[in-house]
Amino acid sequence: MPENNPYASPSSNLSGQDSYGERNEGVTQGVVRELSGTKGWTRFFGVIAIIIALCVLLFAFAAQTSFDRVMQAWHLPFPPSEAYTIVIVVAVFFAALAFLYGYFLNGFSSAVNKLERTGTESDLALALNRQRLYWVFSGIISVLFLLFTAYNVISRL
């Protein structure tokens, strides 16, 4: 694989050709333009996901003060402290999920930022690989939620 020459003269797209820069190996203006257009939306979702993760944790831990009273009103067959532990475990699970979504999406957006600056094939590969990791994670979670939804729908029919 050819390395970038640090002593090469700077290049720009003055010719209007499809090439993004020197030694780009398939990193065209069209490819970078599409990734740049995606970056803003993925950053938006990434930030929202991390805010949701923090809010879920905050509400779960803040609920402890009023939890005993609420649980006593519901007349559950187990003590309120046990119910609170279950709520905390569920909250941590969903917060971790939201955080991971945010982590993968922000990682992709940052990789596209780097690609915009350098225009190298290795940064394109990095951005696409981060995108792939997001879809692997999202695919596994969506299958789990699909099974859960299917169970709920079938049990109610």
Partner 1 sequence: MDNPYAAPSSNLSGGNSFGAGIGVTQRVADIMRRTMPWARLAGITGILHTILNLIANLSQGAHRSPIAATGVAYIFLGINFYLGVKMLSYARRIGILLQTGRASDLAAALAEHRRYWKIWGLYILVVFILGAFGGVLSGVAAAG
Applying CB under 8 A, which residues contact partner 1? 1-2, 18-19, 25-28, 30-31, 33-35, 37-38, 41-42, 44-45, 48, 121, 124-125, 128-129, 131-132, 135-136, 138-139, 142-143, 145-146, 149-150, 152-153, 156-157
Least separation in angstroms between residue 10's CB and partner 1 is 21
Give the nearer residue to partner 1 in terms of CB position, either 36 or 85: 36
Classify residue 143 by burial, with Cβ atoms within 10 Å: 0-12, 13-18, 19+: exposed
Q: Min. distance of Cβ 40 from partner 1 in angstroms?
A: 8
Closest to partner 1 by CB, 81 vs 149, is: 149
Q: Mind giving me the DSSP string for 59-118?
A: HHHHTHHHHHHHHHHHT-SS-HHHHHHHHHHHHHHHHHHHHHHHHHHHHHHHHHHHHHHH
CA distances from 100 to 13, 19, 133 (A): 38, 35, 11
Q: CB-wise, 71 or 107, nearer to partner 1?
A: 107
Which residue, 25 or 82, is less far from partner 1 as judged by CB? 25
**Shortest CB 56 distance to partner 1, Å:** 17
Handedness of CA 146, 46, 41, 33 (dihedral sign): negative
Q: How far is the CB of 139 from partner 1 (least distance, A)?
A: 4
- The single-letter DSSP state of residue 8 is S
